[in-house]
Chains A and B, each alone.
Chain A
Amino acid sequence: GAGVSQSPSNKVTEKGKDVELRCDPISGHTALYWYRQRLGQGLEFLIYFQGNSAPDKSGLPSDRFSAERTGESVSTLTIQRTQQEDSAVYLCASSATGTAYYEQYFGPGTRLTVT
């Protein structure tokens, strides 16, 4: 079946502009995660959605970052007034439910470059 998809694959933007990144999880997966991967680093947790529960936003680095998810479907990660330090690969993952017992399936990521 279809895996997790993300769009765009690559995004180049000018400093100060807003960007929106999209994630389509695997159908039926109630849990969705966003991570950031800076060059040469591991993944940093950003935000977690589980069904209709309030999201865990504890990993968002600043109030310029926000994310939404409609039900158990598509999620968008928005970065306002982008800065050069926002340059990274943004990875989305989904799992059947939100515990570490269940495998997280990752998308291919969006590489964001802020010039």
Chain B
Amino acid sequence: AQTVTQSQPEMSVQEAETVTLSCTYDTSENNYYLFWYKQPPSRQMILVIRQEAYKQQNATENRFSVNFQKAAKSFSLKISDSQLGDTAMYFCALGSGGSNYKLTFGKGTLLTVNP
């Protein structure tokens, strides 16, 4: 069975500062994908960033980047220059194995960006 753990239920950051959200996972597969999704109050899940496990280079998308530590099974999300619109629930997710469409989600981290 695969698991995803987000140990920070809530975090806050001041606008324009940098924040890092933690995620650890467990899977016996070698080929898998990791994701960070954002869920604002509108409930619409939005993909923030994706990492293929076979790629050593950390993924980046504008202000969002990840620190992927495969041996440690760690996948943290760094948000730079935080904006008020970044306030949302953030979910880490794992897709692995032959049924890698079946994503396993963590419980989420509620991020609040303060003005």
Q: A residues engaging B (CB < 8 A)?
A: 31, 33, 40-45, 48, 50, 56, 58-59, 89, 91, 93, 95, 98-101, 103-104, 106-109, 111
Contacts and interface: CB of A to CB of B under 8 A. Distances in A.
A43 B104 CA distance: 8
28 contacts: A41-B107, A42-B93, A42-B107, A43-B91, A44-B105, A45-B102, A45-B103, A48-B102, A50-B101, A56-B102, A89-B43, A91-B43, A91-B45, A93-B45, A95-B101, A98-B101, A99-B100, A100-B100, A100-B103, A101-B52, A103-B47, A103-B50, A104-B103, A106-B46, A107-B44, A108-B43, A109-B43, A111-B43
Contacts of A50: 101
A108 B39 CA distance: 10
Nearest to B34: A100
Given A42-B106, A109-B43, A48 B50 contact: no
B44 A108 contact: yes
Interface of B: 4, 32-33, 35, 42-47, 50, 52, 91, 93, 95-96, 99-108
Nearest to B31: A100
Nearest to B99: A56
A4 B4 CA distance: 26
Identify the 9 closest CB pairs spanning chains A and B, nearest first: A100-B95, A42-B105, A106-B45, A100-B100, A100-B33, A43-B105, A98-B101, A109-B43, A42-B107
Given A91-B45, A106-B45, A100 B101 contact: yes
Contacts of B108: 41-42
